[in-house]
């Protein structure tokens, strides 16, 4: 087995390698002066089972091209099987036609990864589960729920006060799974999205008065939804509001919104490499999913069950 890292999240790739007690494959993944991507694998990979770790986060197009070129290089080097390990799958929010003459970009990215030569995909907490069906190759969608639930238990010992909150109706299934693990109640925020990146809380379904609320979502981008939901729950009588989110995109003015919001803290995983701004924020805490991804990689390499990780 070989583990190859792109440049999008070297810290996570090294942590996965440490978990597996496996060195990262020696390779050059760099840019020419005109910003074209160049890849050279500096080890023999013929007949090997190779896992390429690369999140397609910002800059999404650059990181996606790195992944595709790494896969192509491995294909031409006669790797036996190539697994694209994408902790964060970019373009996942473009999973359907939202209007006339618009693309389904998530399907396009799935086609590109497959055509480049990947035999399998390993990703985490897809924005919509049906994206797995966009790939014509086996695709494992890891759920971070066990990791996040364990962290919540360590920080919120009085579970009777807890209430897990879905920031929109579309995330109810995700939030319910976490609430079931923690034996906590569930609430739902009814919101209206006037435009991309702008949302308005219309109603809170569930009684959050005197409860410690935890917002649970897959992606925090502009942070407008989370901050508005936190403010609404504080006004409804919640004693405190925190947020647990798998992928911390945190683009634009997201950091300013989080720092000025009613959120006690925002907990994100390291599926996306942390920016300097987020590292300096006292409200943002990161937990690692390297053991989860590393164990999934080990199980795939050994032809063992991955779904048992979530039993």
Q: Confirm if 90 and 128 have CB atoms less than 8 A apart.
A: no
Decide which of 3.40.50.700, 3.40.50.2020, 3.30.470.20, 1.10.3720.10 is the CATH code for 145-288: 3.40.50.2020
Residues of the chain with pLDDT under 70: 157-160, 193-202
End-to-end CA separation in angstroms for the chain: 26
186-204 confidence digits (pLDDT tens): 999 987 766 665 666 668 9
What residues contact residue 114 under an 8 Å CB cut-off, 6+ apart? 135, 136, 137
What per-residue confidence (pLDDT) applies to 195?
Answer: 62
Cα–Cα distance between 61 and 78 in angstroms, integer? 26
What per-residue confidence (pLDDT) applies to 201?
Answer: 63
Fold match, 2-142+291-310 / 145-288: yes
Map tokens 């759920």 to a residue.
143
The DSSP result for 45-88, as a single string, is -TT-EEEEE----SSHHHHHHHHHHHHHHHHHTT-SEEEEEESS
What per-residue confidence (pLDDT) applies to 159?
Answer: 60
Which residues belong to the active site? 191
For residue 135, the number of C-alpha atoms closer than 13 Å in the C-beta half-sphere is: 25
Cα–Cα distance between 122 and 70 in angstroms, integer? 16
- The closest of 44, 75, 62, 48 to 6, measured between CA atoms, is 62
Residue 206's region, left for phi above 0, alpha for psi from -120 to 50, else beta, is left
Q: How big, in percent rounded to 5, are the helix, strand and coil portions of the chain?
A: 35, 25, 35
Class (C level, CATH) for 2-142+291-310: alpha beta
Cβ neighbour number for residue 36 with a 10 Å cutoff: 10
Q: Domain-by-domain residue ranges, the chain? A: 2-142+291-310, 145-288
What per-residue confidence (pLDDT) applies to 260?
Answer: 95
What per-residue confidence (pLDDT) applies to 156?
Answer: 85
């Amino acid at each position: 087995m070989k583990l190859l890292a792109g440049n999008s999240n070297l810290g996570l790739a090294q942590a996965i390698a440490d978990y597996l007690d496996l060195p990262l494959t020696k390779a050059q993944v760099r840019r020419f002066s005109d910003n074209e991507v160049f890849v050279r694998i500096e080890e023999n990979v013929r007949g090997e089972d190779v896992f390429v770790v690369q999140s397609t986060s910002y800059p999404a197009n650059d990181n996606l091209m790195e992944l595709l070129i790494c896969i192509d290089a491995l294909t031409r080097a006669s790797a036996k099987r190539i697994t694209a390990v994408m902790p964060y799958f970019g373009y996942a929010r473009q999973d359907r036609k939202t209007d006339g003459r618009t693309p389904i970009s998530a399907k396009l990215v799935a086609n590109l990864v497959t055509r480049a030569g990947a035999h399998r995909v390993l990703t985490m907490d897809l924005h919509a589960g049906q994206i797995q069906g966009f790939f014509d190759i086996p695709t494992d969608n890891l759920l971070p729920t066990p990791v996040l639930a364990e962290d919540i238990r360590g920080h919120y010992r009085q579970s009777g006060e807890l209430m897990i909150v879905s920031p929109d109706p579309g995330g109810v299934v995700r939030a319910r799974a976490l609430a079931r693990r923690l034996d906590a109640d569930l609430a739902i925020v009814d919101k209206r999205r006037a435009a991309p990146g702008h949302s308005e809380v219309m109603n809170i379904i569930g009684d959050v008065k005197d409860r410690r609320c935890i917002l649970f979502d897959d992606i925090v981008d502009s942070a407008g939804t989370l901050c508005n939901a936190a403010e609404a729950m504080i006004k409804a009588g919640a004693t405190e509001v925190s947020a647990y989110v798998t992928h911390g995109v945190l683009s634009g003015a997201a950091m300013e919104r989080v720092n000025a919001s009613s959120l006690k803290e925002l907990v994100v995983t390291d599926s996306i490499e942390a920016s300097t701004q987020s590292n300096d924020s006292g409200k943002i805490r990161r937990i690692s999913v390297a053991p989860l991804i590393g164990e999934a990689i080990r199980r795939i390499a050994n032809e063992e069950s991955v779904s048992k990780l979530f039993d």
